């Protein structure tokens, strides 16, 4: 009898153990199913997020193409931000930024001795300081003072060891006519006649029925350059028309007319 009881105990023990074994596969299957579902959801969210990101980037690029002035302003903000990380910039003042497109016109000036085409000059008129920046190597090449003579000396000028007329002057050109390609032709005409001018943006004016070309000294400190550009283009120096958008960080604006 004791032997029989022992066999029953063993049988019951085996039964209990097998019951535990049969319960594990079901639990494992449910866990795998949950993990698979979670992976699918995460993958879908990732794909959706990437799609949304690239769509936003695409729309942003399209907006910049439609609005070159906005693209220019963003580029200039990036330049100022990069330069401010490399050297101390005058606080509370937006600089005039010009891109060097022909270094041969500036080789006689010590300030531009190490400059190359594609470098930028940041001119802080109020702080009387200029910064030469190389965007390729992300380096500040030179920082120098601007000497501003007394206004009674005639036309306001500044110098970097020389006169401001030798410094790059940034120009925007608006085509106020229906003539295609007129802005590009005008850029060539201006830059060939004036060594210190750099055209940094070209776009259409708010209206295309200007009868005469007008030149606007946007900051009030480039009267001589504005007058010279007007002479080259047979235009007149004027104030900014009410319907036109003032380009950011540009010294002189040219609005082309039929004459």
Q: How does pLDDT run across 44-55, given as a tens digit for each residue?
A: 777 877 776 666
Distance from C-alpha of 33 to C-alpha of 255, rounded to nearest angstrom: 68
Distance from C-alpha of 114 to C-alpha of 122, rounded to nearest angstrom: 15
Give domain status of residue 171, yes or no: yes
Q: Which residues contact 225 (CB under 8 A, 6 or more apart)?
A: 165, 169, 194, 196, 197, 217, 251, 252
How many domains in the chain? 1
Give domain status of residue 41, yes or no: no
Distance from C-alpha of 225 to C-alpha of 167, rounded to nearest angstrom: 11
Give domain status of residue 221, yes or no: yes
Residue range 221-240: average pLDDT? 87
Q: How does pLDDT run across 137-176, given as a tens digit for each residue?
A: 999 998 887 654 444 333 333 333 333 445 678 899 999 9
Q: How does pLDDT run across 64-107, given as a tens digit for each residue?
A: 445 555 455 667 888 899 999 999 899 888 888 888 877 887 77
Give the pLDDT score at 94.
84
Q: How does pLDDT run across 182-196, given as a tens digit for each residue?
A: 999 999 999 888 878
What CATH number is given to the structural domain containing 131?
3.30.70.2390
Residue 252 pLDDT class (50, 70, 90 cuts) = very high
Residue 63 pLDDT class (50, 70, 90 cuts) = low
Give domain status of residue 210, yes or no: yes
Give domain status of residue 32, yes or no: no
Give domain status of residue 56, yes or no: no
Range of the domain at 98: 69-256
Give domain status of residue 7, yes or no: no
Q: How does pLDDT run across 107-138, given as a tens digit for each residue?
A: 777 788 888 888 988 888 888 888 999 999 99
- With tokens 């030798």, the residue in question is 166
Give domain status of residue 196, yes or no: yes
| 75-84 burial code (b ≥16 CB/10 A, e <16) | bbeebbeebe
């Amino acid at each position: 009898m004791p032997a029989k009881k022992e066999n029953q105990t063993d049988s019951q023990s085996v039964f209990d153990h097998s019951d535990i074994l049969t319960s594990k596969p079901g639990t494992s299957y449910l866990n795998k199913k949950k993990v698979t579902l979670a992976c699918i959801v995460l993958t879908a969210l990732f794909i959706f997020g990437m799609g949304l990101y690239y769509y936003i980037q695409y729309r942003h690029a399209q907006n910049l193409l439609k609005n070159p002035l906005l693209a220019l302003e963003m580029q200039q903000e990036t330049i100022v931000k990069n330069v401010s990380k490399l050297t101390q910039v005058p606080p509370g003042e937006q600089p005039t930024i010009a891109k060097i497109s022909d270094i041969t016109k500036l080789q006689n000036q010590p300030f531009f001795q190490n400059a190359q085409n594609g470098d930028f000059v940041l001119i802080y008129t109020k702080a009387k300081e200029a910064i030469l920046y190389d965007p390729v190597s992300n380096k500040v090449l030179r920082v120098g003072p601007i000497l501003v003579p007394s206004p009674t000396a005639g036309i306001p000028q500044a110098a970097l060891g020389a006169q401001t007329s030798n410094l790059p002057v940034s120009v925007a050109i608006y085509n106020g006519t229906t003539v295609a390609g007129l802005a590009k032709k005008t850029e060539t005409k201006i830059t060939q006649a004036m060594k210190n001018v750099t055209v940094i943006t070209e776009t259409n004016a708010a209206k295309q029925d200007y009868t005469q070309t007008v030149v606007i000294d946007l900051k009030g400190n480039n009267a001589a350059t504005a007058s010279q550009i007007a002479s080259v283009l047979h235009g007149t120096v004027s104030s900014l028309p009410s319907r036109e958008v003032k380009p950011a960080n540009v010294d002189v604006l040219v609005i082309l007319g039929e004459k």
